[in-house]
Amino acid sequence: MHEARTRLSRLVDTAAKGEPFVIARAGRPLVKVTPLTAETTSPRIGFLPDAAIPDGFDTMSAATIRSTCGTRAPRPAARHRRA
């Protein structure tokens, strides 16, 4: 345990490189330190987990985007008359 305290930084670096280690007290193994694997998830867009951005999205017109994404054209804003 004492060695783990004094060399923790080096031991963690070693584990992060893929070499797990065991910390023991009085010769009895207590814990095993292993590297965490990074999750390989793609960034989520809004609340749609399976949404994909079509190629060329940045250069598409509004009409093309609506037809690709399956949405309707927005309604014109309501005009309010002043009394």
By the 8 A CB rule, do 50 and 69 touch? no
Rounded Cα distance, 33 and 24, in Å: 11
pLDDT in tens, 38-49: 666 666 556 666
Q: Enumerate residues 6+ apart whose C-beta is below 8 A from 25.
A: 1
| Domain ranges across the chain | 2-33
> In the block, which residue shows the tokens 């250069």?
59
pLDDT in tens, 16-42: 888 988 988 888 999 998 888 766 666
Q: Which of 30, 33, 29 is nearest to 8 (CA)?
A: 33
How is 21-48 classified by DSSP, letter by letter? EEEEETTEEEEEE-PPPPP--PPPBTTB
